Chain A
Amino acid sequence: MTSKKVSIRRLPTNVPGLDAILGGGLPEYSFNLIVGAPGSGKTTLAHQLMFALATSDRPALFFTVLGEPPLKMLRYQQQFSFFDPRKVNKSLRYVNLSDDVSAGNFDQVLARITQEVEASSPGVVFVDSFRSVMLEARQQPHGGAGMQQFIQKLGILLNGWQATTFLIGEYASGDNPDPVFTVADGLISLEQSVFRNSMVRRIQILKMRGHATQPGLHTFRISNAGIEIFPAAQVRDDSGATDSPAPSHIATPRLTMGVPGLDNMLGGGLPSGYSILVAGPSGSGKTILATAFLAEGVRVGEPGIIVAFEQTPSQSRTRTIDDMVRAGQIGLINTRSLDLSIDEVVQRLIDMIHQKKATRVVIDSLSGFELAVAPSFREDFRESLFRMVAVLAGLGVTVMMTSELEDRYTDLRFSPYGSAFLTDAIIVERYIEIESRLKRVIAVVKVRGSAHSDELRQFEITDDGIVIGKPVRDYEGLLGGHPAQMPVLGKVA
């Protein structure tokens, strides 16, 4: 006889980002826990899942127990756009168990659940909050043992009725070894942390039997649309397998920068798919260079996106950027929120890249970005940047990041984030003093795998943009802040 292994179907949850961290959806007929502190979004996640999963063929039962009063729950959950009252008592039904639980007779509770399950043969079952059941159980004589048996029986019942089940509760890891943890196939943990004035929500799949999930904490937001998860950007391993063709460095197409002369300095333009850091002090022309890069993309049919972190966007953004955004030629992600996670920005960026079919991305600036992320993420800013650049590189887009650089003449640094090594190319802008005038110079510091100019070139910012001038040949010590005119060869006696 041919043996056929069972294949576990995965149910799409319709919660943005959740399927990705679950490794492709929820295993059908699984017995799951949604755990977290009060206010962490457990009931909201449960409702979002229920309204997505419940259909006439796969009806849902939502058992409410002690805890949040059902009237309040129904009132508040209706504020989310996923709540569709037309589904209530049609493809999903609420059942209040508080009277049965208060009586403390778990056989009675189980009988009631059994009765409801048999009556509607649900495909999805929720119990909110299961923690209330457990607390009630502990107050009963022999409550612990009774509870363990109750959970075992409940698990068997719901598995037998082929219901994908979610128990919702305020469990903490310290609650182990609650028997419910052993029975559960999946464990979804929600947490929220407040640091200074920012609140960050995170979700983690602690356990999911049968398939690999995306490990680690993933940030999420709760908006009117419900929960949106931003899976932590993952850097794909390059195994060096020989089945994929080796990248051809020679054939890599190059992008024009939109600044006359700069392409030559870069050795013929910026290689496609590269990330480039434009570092310079305030006012040196970084945003203008980035604008030229995007405008050039528009001109040659390479759509772009700018991620801006400015406090007063309409004033500080150049008119060219505004015009291009208004004309729909480039996408704009502008945020002044101070509780962002980098993964959230990456997710928005990825969505917009797909939507606009963008090939050029500008992040202006890393300094603003660092301010915009929640303080708790700043420790990992550099690591997150690394992952972001890797993810964007994986998408094949060319990324320009600007970085505010304190114009110190004692050392030559390109970024306070140590991000210089993350990028494939670096352009640096500096101020220099020549004949009591403040002049700007630009230089290409690196272009990975490519020859490039090593000249320091003066440049000016005009109404038409950046105009690169001649190399500064007659001076030395410019980067040290003490330029000295070099003796002219041939005139020496």
Chain B
Amino acid sequence: MSTTNTNAPREAIQTLLAVRVGGVNGASVLAQATIDRWRDLTSQLEPVIGTGGVKVLFGRAVRQASANYPWLAVPVEDGSEAALLVTLMGRFAGEERATVEKAIATVLLNFVELLATLIGESLTDRLLGPAWAPATPASEREIP
């Protein structure tokens, strides 16, 4: 990423992973927060590169991450990214919290890096900048 926003994706992901509410590991809340964050990303990207472009990059980001987290290896043809993440939610439940956090961070960072490799860091910053804006932490939301 460019010098001004180098840490923006990492900070946003850290905020996302700071969710500590609900259940023993908060898997469902964490998964929901992940989906929210993913929607923030796609809402910025899909109008520009299309759903097809986002899907391909996401699939590759997951595939790369699954080298270390084999339980992530869910076929991307399963449905939309959101649907895929819902699937992943189920997977989170069976894993250690720390492992899940690392896996989520890896997928998201892989995605951003893949995008930056293709269209450059400055344009990636430009397109995803609003998605990295500090979101209301899920821990502060009302959890039903």
* Contact of A69 (CB < 8 Å), options: B46, B53, B120, B130: B53
Additional A-B contact list (15), CB under 8 Å, known A75-B119, A86-B126, A95-B48: A64-B50, A74-B48, A74-B49, A78-B119, A85-B120, A85-B122, A86-B122, A88-B126, A88-B127, A89-B127, A95-B47, A96-B46, A96-B49, A96-B53, A99-B50
A284 to chain B, nearest CB (A): 56
User: What 4 A-B pairs are tightest by C-beta distance, nearest first?
Assistant: A96-B50, A85-B122, A94-B48, A85-B123
The reply on A241 being an interface residue by CB < 8 A is no
* Given A69-B53, A85-B126, A88-B127, CB of A94 within 8 Å of CB of B47: yes
Interface membership of chain B positions 34-61, coded 1 if the CB is closer than 8 angstroms to chain A and 0 otherwise:
0000000000001111111100000000
Interface membership of chain A positions 72-96, coded 1 if the CB is closer than 8 angstroms to chain B and 0 otherwise:
0011001000000110110001111
The reply on A70 being an interface residue by CB < 8 A is yes
A81 to chain B, nearest CB (A): 14
The reply on B67 being an interface residue by CB < 8 A is no
Chain A residues with CB under 8 Å of chain B are: 64, 69-71, 74-75, 78, 85-86, 88-89, 93-96, 98-99
A101 to chain B, nearest CB (A): 10
Specify which chain A residues have a CB less than 8 angstroms from the CB of B120 in the assembled complex.
75, 78, 85
Specify which chain A residues have a CB less than 8 angstroms from the CB of B46 in the assembled complex.
96
- Roughly how many angstroms separate A250 CA and B126 CA in the complex, as a whole number? 67
Q: Tell me the B120-139 residues at the A interface (CB within 8 Å).
A: 120, 122-123, 125-127, 129-130
- Roughly how many angstroms separate A71 CA and B58 CA in the complex, as a whole number? 14
Assess the A74–B119 pair: CB atoms within 8 A: yes
Specify which chain B residues have a CB less than 8 angstroms from the CB of A95 in the assembled complex.
47-48
Specify which chain B residues have a CB less than 8 angstroms from the CB of A69 in the assembled complex.
49-50, 52-53
Specify which chain B residues have a CB less than 8 angstroms from the CB of A75 in the assembled complex.
118-120
- Roughly how many angstroms separate A248 CA and B118 CA in the complex, as a whole number? 65
* Contact of B53 (CB < 8 Å), options: A70, A85, A86, A88: A70
Specify which chain A residues have a CB less than 8 angstroms from the CB of B129 in the assembled complex.
89
Specify which chain A residues have a CB less than 8 angstroms from the CB of B130 in the assembled complex.
89
Q: Quick one: closest A residue to B125, CB to CB?
A: A85
Specify which chain B residues have a CB less than 8 angstroms from the CB of A88 in the assembled complex.
123, 126-127
A60 to chain B, nearest CB (A): 14
- Roughly how many angstroms separate A89 CA and B123 CA in the complex, as a whole number? 10
* Most A C-beta atoms less than 10 A away, residue of B48, B118, B127, B130: B48
Q: Quick one: closest A residue to B53, CB to CB?
A: A71
Some 26 contacts from A to B, beta carbons below 8 A apart, are A64-B50, A69-B52, A69-B53, A70-B48, A70-B49, A70-B53, A71-B118, A71-B119, A74-B123, A85-B120, A85-B122, A85-B126, A86-B122, A88-B123, A88-B127, A89-B126, A89-B127, A89-B129, A94-B47, A94-B48, A95-B47, A95-B48, A96-B47, A96-B48, A96-B50, A98-B50
Total inter-chain residue pairs, C-beta < 8 Å = 53
- Roughly how many angstroms separate A305 CA and B44 CA in the complex, as a whole number? 53
Specify which chain A residues have a CB less than 8 angstroms from the CB of B123 in the assembled complex.
74, 78, 85, 88
| Majority secondary structure of chain B interface residues (helix, strand, loop or mixed) | helix
B82 to chain A, nearest CB (A): 16
B56 to chain A, nearest CB (A): 9
- Roughly how many angstroms separate A99 CA and B53 CA in the complex, as a whole number? 11
- Roughly how many angstroms separate A95 CA and B127 CA in the complex, as a whole number? 12
Q: Quick one: closest A residue to B57, CB to CB?
A: A71
Q: Tell me the B65-83 residues at the A interface (CB within 8 Å).
A: none
Specify which chain A residues have a CB less than 8 angstroms from the CB of B47 in the assembled complex.
93-96
* Given A74-B119, A75-B119, A78-B120, CB of A98 within 8 Å of CB of B52: yes
Q: Quick one: closest A residue to B51, CB to CB?
A: A99
B127 to chain A, nearest CB (A): 7
A224 to chain B, nearest CB (A): 15
A127 to chain B, nearest CB (A): 15
Specify which chain A residues have a CB less than 8 angstroms from the CB of B125 in the assembled complex.
85
Specify which chain A residues have a CB less than 8 angstroms from the CB of B126 in the assembled complex.
85-86, 88-89
Q: Quick one: closest A residue to B130, CB to CB?
A: A89
Specify which chain A residues have a CB less than 8 angstroms from the CB of B52 in the assembled complex.
69, 98
Specify which chain A residues have a CB less than 8 angstroms from the CB of B49 in the assembled complex.
69-71, 74, 96
* Most B C-beta atoms less than 10 A away, residue of A75, A85, A88: A85
- Roughly how many angstroms separate A74 CA and B125 CA in the complex, as a whole number? 14
- Roughly how many angstroms separate A94 CA and B119 CA in the complex, as a whole number? 14
Specify which chain A residues have a CB less than 8 angstroms from the CB of B51 in the assembled complex.
99
- Roughly how many angstroms separate A21 CA and B55 CA in the complex, as a whole number? 43
B119 to chain A, nearest CB (A): 5
Q: Quick one: closest B residue to A87, CB to CB?
A: B126
Specify which chain A residues have a CB less than 8 angstroms from the CB of B119 in the assembled complex.
71, 74-75, 78
- Roughly how many angstroms separate A95 CA and B51 CA in the complex, as a whole number? 12
Assess the B50–A70 pair: CB atoms within 8 A: yes
Q: Quick one: closest A residue to B2, CB to CB?
A: A85
- Roughly how many angstroms separate A69 CA and B52 CA in the complex, as a whole number? 9
B47 to chain A, nearest CB (A): 5
Q: Quick one: closest A residue to B52, CB to CB?
A: A98
Q: Quick one: closest B residue to A90, CB to CB?
A: B126
- Roughly how many angstroms separate A69 CA and B129 CA in the complex, as a whole number? 22
